[in-house]
Every structure is written in C-alpha cells, then in structure tokens.
Amino acid sequence: MARREVWGLAGRRVEVKNLDKVFWPEHGYTKGDLLRYYREVAPVMLPYLRGRPLTLVMCPDGIAAGCYYRRKRPDYAPDWMPYVPYNPRTKTGQVPLILVEDEAQLIWLANQAAVEFHVWASPARDLAHPSWLVLDLDPGNATGFGAVLEAARFVRKELEELGLVGWPKTSGGRGLHLLVPLEPGRYSHAEVRAWAKAFAARLAERSGGLLRLPHGATHRGSGVFVDYAQNGYGRNTAAPYSLRARPGAPVSTPLGWDEVEAGGFQPADFNLETVPERLRRSGDLLHGLQEHRQRLADL
C-alpha cells in the first residue's frame, strides 16, 4: 500500500500520500523526500512565493517520466488555496493563477507533484509592475561554471557603477540568476525588459567577449549569455529554494557575493540533501532583497 500521512500545517490538516514513490531515480529520492524538503525550507522560501503568481513544474511520476507546466489553480483545490484572476494577452477569458501564502498551501501543491516553483517578478496586487529585474547568466555549451562566476563578478561591478545592487543565486541548472530589486509600482514590464536588454548589450560590449547576447533558444559555443528575456509580463523565474526537475535534485540556491568571489563550487553542490543544512549554517542569503528599493539608472 502506498504510504500516506496527515501533517498539521498552518492550522490545517494536509494529507500527503505516495511518499515512497521514487521521483529522482538516479539517486532514489522519493516524493516523501520532496515533501520533507519543502516543509523544512518553507520558513525561508515562503517570503519569495507569498503574494506572487506561480508557475509549477508538475512531475506526477517522477522527473524521468515526463513533467509539465501548470499555472492555473486546479479546479479540485480546497477553498483555502488562493489565486489571482489573470487576463492572458493571447486569449480571452480569465485564468486563476496559483498563489501560495502559507506552509499548508505549499505542501498541498507539492503533494500534487509540484517539483518546481517559479514566480512572477510582479506581485499579485499589482501584476503590471515588477518589483525586481532578472539577469540570467547562462553558459554556452563549451563554457564551464568558472566563467559564469567571472561573469557574475563583472556584472556586479557594472551594476555598482550605476548605483545598483544585485543578489545572486544559482539557477538550479548550469548558470546564475542576479535579482535586482526595484522600487515597487514604478516601472512597467516593458520598461524593465527594455532596460535589461540595453544593459545586456552594454555588458557584451564592455566584457571583452566574456558576456554575449543570446541568439535563439540554445546557447552554443563559448562565453556566458546574458538572457534578459525572463523579464516581461507573464514571465517567471525559478523561485529561491525551488527544487529543479533535473538529475541530482538541484536547488536554486541564494549565494553570498563572497562565495561568488571565492569560487570553488559547482551548482550541483546545492541540492535536496545539502541545502537544509546550509540554511541552518548560513541562513537566508537573500535576506533584505525585497525590502531594497532601487531606481534604474540611465544607460
């Protein structure tokens, strides 16, 4: 019989089931491991989910059996699962976008086989105005992670010249994300995307070949690509502390700039097993991000 339990979370009783189902076959990590991970990191992860529309990566039979994206709140969700109405620009009618406000809601979604949690850059209360900008540093297929760290250091210096601060995290893949917090309600998605595109061009021009503009969906060759396309209405980025549906169960993990400066690590070092202990040791390295207010400088 598939193992199930009832967990008391945020004043509710949440049934979790199929705990022994293997989700990451190469390591033997199970759905129970997934649920226990999200329960442990919930206190630090929830501030980055709360009040933002989500897109989920669902893997009902584990990552090897196929996954799919979901942003619409399930019709069968309990009445305590919140949502925000959304009018897609490509179709008529409203879509109820998934929201998460507490631990019970997070675990309920994970129990539906949500492996990844991706967040909008704008809050549900003001979908038209992002509160951060995302720079995705993605290595070409002939480029190692050391070049990504070098690129991040260069981008940090360029941001500082403009009076801006960015917070780094691993993408959970081969690259890094830099989150640049913005003054809430000030910029449209189009304005942020245009600025990010211009800044990416500036980086490509000034970095001596280290940083490149993306061309197409695949990043072939050497160098580190500055992907600005994660900025835009309806776009989303892997949330801090989200697991990824990839071998090894990697986690999109906040970093300290001292770690980026020192190097000596790989993105795969941050995973389902290691991140909870890292949090106990170092705390949330994105602390202060959402309270920081910045205006974009002229380029």
Residue ranges of domains in the chain, CATH in brackets? 4-127+236-246 (3.90.920.10)
pLDDT of residue 88: 80
Please check the confidence at residue 297 and state whether its pLDDT lies above 90: yes
pLDDT of residue 218: 55
Contact of 125 with 185, CB cutoff 8 Å = no
Grade residue 214 by pLDDT with cuts at 50, 70 and 90: confident
State the average pLDDT over residues 56-63. 98
Query: Which range has the worst mean pLDDT, 121-125, 168-172, 219-223?
Result: 219-223
pLDDT of residue 219: 58
How many CA atoms, within 13 angstroms, populate the side-chain half-sphere of residue 12? 15
Burial of 42 (0-12, 13-18, 19+ CB in 10 A): buried
State the average pLDDT over residues 15-22. 97
pLDDT of residue 106: 99
Q: Per-residue b/e over 138-167, b at no fewer than 16 CB within 10 Å?
A: bbbeebebebbbbbbbbbbebbeeeebbbb
State the average pLDDT over residues 66-76. 96
Contact of 135 with 229, CB cutoff 8 Å = no
Between 128 and 90, the higher pLDDT residue: 128
Grade residue 227 by pLDDT with cuts at 50, 70 and 90: very high
Tens of pLDDT, residues 92-118: 788 999 999 999 999 999 999 999 999
Please check the confidence at residue 223 and state whether its pLDDT lies above 70: yes
Grade residue 1 by pLDDT with cuts at 50, 70 and 90: very low
SS (H, E, C) 62-123: CHHHCCEEECECCCCCCCCCCEEEECCCCCCCCEEEECCCCHHHHHHHHHCCEEEEEEECCC
Tens of pLDDT, residues 244-296: 999 999 999 999 999 999 999 999 999 999 999 999 999 999 999 999 999 99
pLDDT of residue 217: 57
Tens of pLDDT, residues 132-177: 999 999 999 889 999 999 999 999 999 999 999 999 999 999 999 9
Query: Which range has the worst mean pLDDT, 22-26, 137-141, 210-214, 215-219?
Result: 215-219
pLDDT of residue 151: 97
